[in-house]
Amino acid sequence: MSVAIGLTRPPAVRTLSVGDPGDLVAALPDAAPSAWIRHGEGLVGWGVAASTAVPPGPDRFTWAKKWLAEVLGDADVDDDLRVPGSGPVAFGSFTFDPDEPGSVLIVPKVVLARRDGRAWMTTVDAAPTGEAVPTVEPGWVRYGDGSLSAPEWEHAVARAVQAIRSGRLEKAVLARDLMVTAENPIDARPLLARLAQRYPECYTFSVGGLLGATPELLVRRTGEAVESLVLAGTAARGGDADDDLARGAALFASAKDRHEHACAVSSVRQALTPLCADLRVPDAPELLVLPNVQHLASRVTGRLGNGASVLDVVEAMHPTAAVGGTPTATALEVIRELEGMDRAGYAGPVGWIDSRGDGEWGIALRCGLINGNRVRLFAGCGIMGDSEPSAELAEAQAKLRAMQYALEG
């Protein structure tokens, strides 16, 4: 269902330069904001000028682009900046499985942004800022099993390993969920603040109740230029500096993790090649070190050759092997057989798009889905033929710590 709350026809959109707003999260007056922040820069939004639940199905991205064109296409836009993220902006989250409901697009009434030394505010129909809602901490939190207990999930990993060794597929990514009950209804703002501060290298996001800090940039489009950061292959951080270096070196030398990473890079190359006139893929990964884990990372860059919007690129790339597996169709079959759950927005595309088709979209990792005082946390691991179930469980638990930290402070 599409909702346009109080929009005039055509809607009046105004973007004005503003002074440095400081901490973007601290400026949020709303307990359920939209956000996309990295290193203190990005966009935050509040209020809802228009929103829609994107119908599930294979044509959901086409439907989403049509909806955006209908809502924003005839807008009266006053935007002298004309930089990525100025003018009308929609935040979005798409479910991992195209056949599952839960994908959303939200056009905030107010967007506050800062990038490259410039800051601006965009309003839709001269939206008032309204009174700020006081920030509320979650209070105590209680954890419980999600769709599978830890032993059940290890058994699912073992079955995936058997499927890979039998030759059915090369790689499968299995996700695990964890249920959290908090004392108070969850206010996104303190969680966003903690994630943005502790994980500045990640993209801290909030869209329609899905909140997290993902290290994986699915795609950034700025004009014809596109960029993607591929992550696959993970190790926990060490207990001290020497242990940390040893774990990173072992990850970099691991044949299993290098093969897993190569599968992910190959899927991105295959998706981007038809869209790009020029594509540059590094020969070898680098090591990305985060506070809780280390990843093998490859930054892929290119130049679009057909004027595709960022959503066109998202559609072509999702799901990558980093969150699905190889080959994709078989991996999705195995995921449905073994996970025993709907991933919702976990491992799906999340980000923003402006009226010029520019935008940034990540893969929704290290995240939780908020519903009142309950949060469903997610983590996933790439399973290969030599994966050990106990080691994969430990990796999933390490990845869950990001959201546990956000909730507990």
Task: Catalytic residue, from 152, 154, 201, 216: name it.
Answer: 216
**Burial per residue of 33-59, b for 16 or more beta-carbon CB atoms within 10 angstroms, e otherwise:** bbbbbbeebbbbbbbbbbbbebebeee
- Catalytic residue at 216? yes
**CB-CB contact of 380 with 392 (8 Å):** no
- Catalytic residue at 137? no
* Beta-carbon-side half-sphere exposure of residue 312 (alpha carbons within 13 Å): 16
Instruction: Report H helices in 143-287.
Output: 150-165, 188-198, 241-253, 255-272
């006053």: which residue's tokens? 78
Task: Catalytic residue, from 171, 392, 395, 399: name it.
Answer: 171
- CA end-to-end span of the chain, whole Å? 36
**Token pair in block for residue 214:** 């993902």
- Residues near 297 by Cβ (< 8 Å), separated by ≥ 6? 229, 230, 231, 285, 286, 287, 288
Q: Which residues are tagged catalytic?
A: 171, 216
